Structure 1
Amino acid sequence: MYQAPPPRQIVPITRMPKTSALGVAGLVLGLLGICAGITSLPAVICGHLSLRAIRRSGGELGGQGMAITGLVFGYLGLAGLTLFLVFAGMGAKKAAKDAAVAGTPYPLSSVAIPSFPALPAMTALGDSGVKVGQLRLQSGSGPGESMELRIYLPAGNPAAGSLRCVLVAPAGTTLLSGTDVGPLDAGAYHDECLPYAEAGMAVVMYSLDGNLDRDDSDDREKSKAAYERFRGAQAGLVNARNALEFVLARMPQVDRGKIFAAGHSSAATLSLLFGEHESRLAGCAAYAPATDVEARLKEVTDNPFSNLAFPEIKAFLKRSSPKTHADKLTIPALVFHAADDKNVPVADSRDFVANLKAKGADITFREVPEGGHYDAMIVEGIPAGIEWMKRR
């Protein structure tokens, strides 16, 4: 018997909901915001508008998951952007403060003057009649409290207050670390001090905190430690000040109104810097100085990792540069330079002196045609400095 087939079921066609364009936009902007930050706020706005549109669409719009994901990324991006702006603001504020401090003189008076021992035993140096002795301060481990002093006295027994005196730092540093005076033995270096003593002057050579041996110059930790000690001694100014105070306290032979600073190369830079900070000096002599320390060490500061080895190096170099404090140089000064100097360009000294002369400073410039960085100083520079000091 024939049986009719059951009637066909008509299944209504269900349309797939359309994906919310705002949800897609929110997701894309949120992802971009994680990297760039600037699109995070539009991502949050698109996400919220998308979710509201989906709820009101009666099922015609989809993409809720994308909208929520875009919202999450958007809020994360906003949080990151906020933190970035906060830290950037703090960094800018600190940079502005550091720049302001870097342009001011060092606060020498903030570092205590150590106690000084008596003059060391003096022995004759060759046939010149000059006497020499050396000591180390033992006041402590702070800036300038354990520095070395080498004293030269002219022949004879000078009366109280009868001698000019010259304060000399050792040369040859990188301007990022200090150096010792070295042992007083048969191989001791006297070439930059003995001529003054032979000319009838007392001389005090003083060490600079932060000695770094040449063999350790590639050792990051030792270089950093030396730099921190040198920076703590205010680029050697504390050492120079202590040498001056030692003369005033322990060397009655010296005329207090005729004490000079002098130095060659890096020590010449310190001589000028000391002259800018110490009005009790009768004058300062600088043989082939680096007057713009920032420019001198630009290759170091251009290294993006320089702050790891030398914290706050840019501010330090600006503050330790004679060019920064040129308007503070109120005492007489002598600058000597050889035209063929391959180490420090003579143009630097010419510009430095010209700028100071334009401001009425008492500064003398002596330029010689040849002799290079070192020989010119020994052969003509120091003799010129002695004559200049005698005229003061």
Structure 2
Amino acid sequence: MSIYFTCANCGRPFDVAEETVGQTFTCDVCEASLMVPATSQPRPEQEGELSVRQFKKLIRFVAIFFVLAFSAGTIGQFWTLLWDDPLAKQAEESKLRAVNAKRKAEFEVRNAVENRLPNIAYPDLPPPGAFTETPPFNFPTTWVQSKTGEGPGSRMQLRIYLPPGEHADKTLSCVVMPPARANVVAGYPVFPTASFFEAKPFVEAGYVVIVFSLDGQLPKDAFDLPKDEYKKYLNRARKRFDDACFGVANGRAAIEYAVRNLPQVDPQQIYVAGIEAAGSAALLLAENEPRLAGCIALAPCIDIEERAREYLSPWDSVDREQLPSSHADRIQCPVFLFDGKGDPAETIDEIPFFYELLKEHHVNVTLDQVESKDMEGSIMDIGVSHAVDWLKQQADPMKDNSEQPEPTPPSVDD
């Protein structure tokens, strides 16, 4: 039993043992002299207040609780270190990484261009109509469009140029090419009224030229649209571009069209050519089409990820399957690379890098380097001219292709 009372001077509460009744002491707050009364005053808990003793008990309880909680945590950690098997944990993590790696590998196999191509059907392209000589080239030409449908190539267009004159069956070489105005993130159309000046030098040299469209075409005014609307069109175009294996399905359809519908074309003398982004598409086609006799890539975009930044958001990425460097070991035909060293958009040494990569894989590759202030002019005036000369060398049966040609020394075009 305890005696509860308060200091008459300052109100400081005291709760002392019953044995101290009658003893005097000094209040530790106001220093008044006090005597322990014989009877206890009403305790504050009876008035809804917390007593000093209860407060002290609460503090002790909280302190003990935290000590026990801390001890339990420490013991738990010790138990984990003592009884958990670190080797078993590492084995479990290794197993999880292996499962994730397997899933990633399976996805890459399913997504690989060479595995998707066999599942893409040849588009419903009609036979060529009448060839007419129309400006500005006045070569015999016609335009073909596939019938409506779904799937890659279902809306393809072809512009076909023939060299003037009569030609017996299988006497002409053929060059298939994507449009030079193509970009690296989407497709590009071949409109019936469009003229393709990149085709002219090849036709003048006696080659059949087929300019083929790339699936995933953007509207003409797409780049002028509001950002959200542009993004919507771009995502849709990129999906169709991806479904067509980044233009490989379109190029393969153009080759098949030449074999099926143009008797003048020698199936053993079909080449692919492209400029800049179309040059990348040409390389990708050469990496996946064994029927090609050669590939011409004029100032191709090798570092596609860098070139795509002007079209994509920072968080968008380019599929690895689209990179020519990812499949360099699969090229079986000779390759002609033109490097316009004056191209401000070119990543430093990207074309020489690809040239060395092809040499490592024992590809018959020629590198033609030209320094020029006028990049576009150097491609059309020098690059295409040199490419035509290279094509003629490929058709020469006396040419020895057993040795790798060295790159042409850089020349300066003022």
1:267-306 matches, within 5 Å, as: 267-297=278-308, 303-304=314-315, 306=316
Give the deviation of 1:347 after TM superposition. 1.4
Higher relative contact order (CA 8 A, sep 6+): 1
Distance 1:372 1:208 in 2: 27
Distance 1:294 1:44, change over 3 A: farther
- State which of 145, 162, 165 in structure 2 corresponds to 1:136: 145
Partner of 1:181: 190
Q: Matches of 1:105 and 1:376 in 2, distance apart?
A: 34
**Which of residues 187, 201, 204 is equivalent to 1:195?**
201
Query: Do 1:103 and 1:325's aligned partners in 2 also have CA atoms closer than 8 Å?
Result: no
**Post-superposition offset of 1:279:** 0.8
- Choose from 159, 162, 170 the match for 1:150: 159
Q: 1:7 to 1:25 in 2, by over 3 A?
A: closer
| Bigger Cα Rg | 2
Distance in 2 separating the partners of 1:281 and 1:25: 79
* 3-state SS, counterpart of residue 192 of structure 1: helix
Q: Does 1:246 align with 2:252?
A: no
Further displaced range: 229-238 or 382-391: 382-391
| 1:9 Cα deviation after fit | 4.3
Q: Is the 8 A contact 1:286 1:336 kept in 2?
A: yes
Quick one: which of 57, 60, 69 aligns to 1:16? 57
How far has the Cα of 1:137 moved from its partner?
A: 0.4
Give the AA of the match of 2:139.
V
Seen in structure 2, the aligned counterparts of structure 1 residues 201 and 104 have a Cα distance that, compared at 3 Å, is closer
Distance 1:19 1:196 in 2: 94
Per the alignment, do residues 135 and 42 of structure 1 end up closer, same or farther by CA in structure 2, a change over 3 Å counting? farther
2:295 is paired with a residue whose SS is strand
Name the SS of the counterpart of 2:323 in structure 1.
coil
- Preserved CA contact (<8 Å) 1:25 1:43: no
Structure 2 unpaired stretches of 5+: 1-36, 44-50, 78-95, 395-414
Deviations 1:39-81 (A, max 9, x none): xx959969xxxxxxxxxxxxxxxxxxxxxxxxxxxxxxxxxxx
Deviation (angstroms), 1:25: 8.5
Amino acid at match of 1:349: I
Alpha-carbon distance between aligned partners in 2 of 1:199 and 1:297, rounded to the nearest angstrom: 34
Structure 2: distance between partners of 1:197 and 1:279: 24
Q: Distance in 1 between matches of 2:393 and 2:178?
A: 23
The answer as to whether partners of 1:114 and 1:139 remain within 8 angstroms in 2 is: no
What one-letter code is carried by the residue in structure 2 that aligns with 1:363?
V
Q: How far apart are the structure 2 equivalents of 1:221 and 1:97? A: 29
2:221 corresponds to which of 215, 223, 241:
215
Q: What residue in structure 2 maps to residue 391 of structure 1?
A: 393
Contact kept in structure 1, 2:174 and 2:270, CA below 8 Å: yes
- Give unpaired runs (5+ residues) of structure 1: 1-5, 29-40, 47-86, 307-312
Residue 213 of structure 1 deviates from its aligned partner by: 3.1
Residue 237 of structure 1 deviates from its aligned partner by: 0.7
Q: CA offset at residue 145 of structure 1?
A: 1.3
**Mapped contact 2:185–2:311 kept (Cα < 8 A):** no
TM-score, length-normalised on structure 1? 0.73
Could you tell me whether the CA contact under 8 Å between 2:141 and 2:159 is conserved in 1? yes
1:66-85 alignment to 2 at 5 Å?
A: none
Measured after TM superposition, the shift of residue 177 of structure 1 is 0.6
1:260 to 244, 262, 271: 271
Q: Is the contact between residue 132 and residue 140 of structure 2 (CA under 8 Å) also seen in structure 1?
A: yes
1:320 equivalenced with 2:322 (yes/no): yes
Give the aligned partner of residue 120 of structure 2.
111
Please list the CA deviations of residues 329-380 of structure 1 after superposition, one character each: whole Å capped at 9, or x if unmatched: 1110100121211122461111111222233210011111215432111101
> Offset of 1:207 from its aligned partner?
0.5
Distance, in Å, in 2 between the alignment partners of 1:322 and 1:102 is: 15
1:329 paired to 2:331: yes
Closer, same or farther in 2 for the Cα pair 1:359/1:130, shift >3 Å?
A: same
Does residue 1:159 correspond to 2:161, yes or no? Answer: no
Contact 1:123–1:133, Cα closer than 8 Å, also in 2: yes
Map Cα deviations across residues 250-296 of structure 1 (whole Å, 9 max, x no partner).
11110000000001011000111111111100001000001232343
Alpha-carbon distance change, 91 to 382 in structure 1, aligned in 2, over 3 angstroms = same
Q: Given the superposition, is the C-alpha separation of residues 42 and 88 from structure 1 closer, same or farther in structure 2, using an over 3 Å criterion?
A: farther
Match of 1:234 among 245, 248, 264: 245
Deviations 1:212-259 (A, max 9, x none): 135213411111111111111111111111111111111111000000
Q: Tell me what 2:180 maps to.
A: 171
Give the superposition deviation at 1:300: 7.0
Summarize the Cα distance change of 1:26–1:290 in structure 2 as closer, same or farther, 3 Å threshold. Answer: farther
Residue 325 of structure 2 aligns to a residue in which SS?
coil
Aligned length: 323
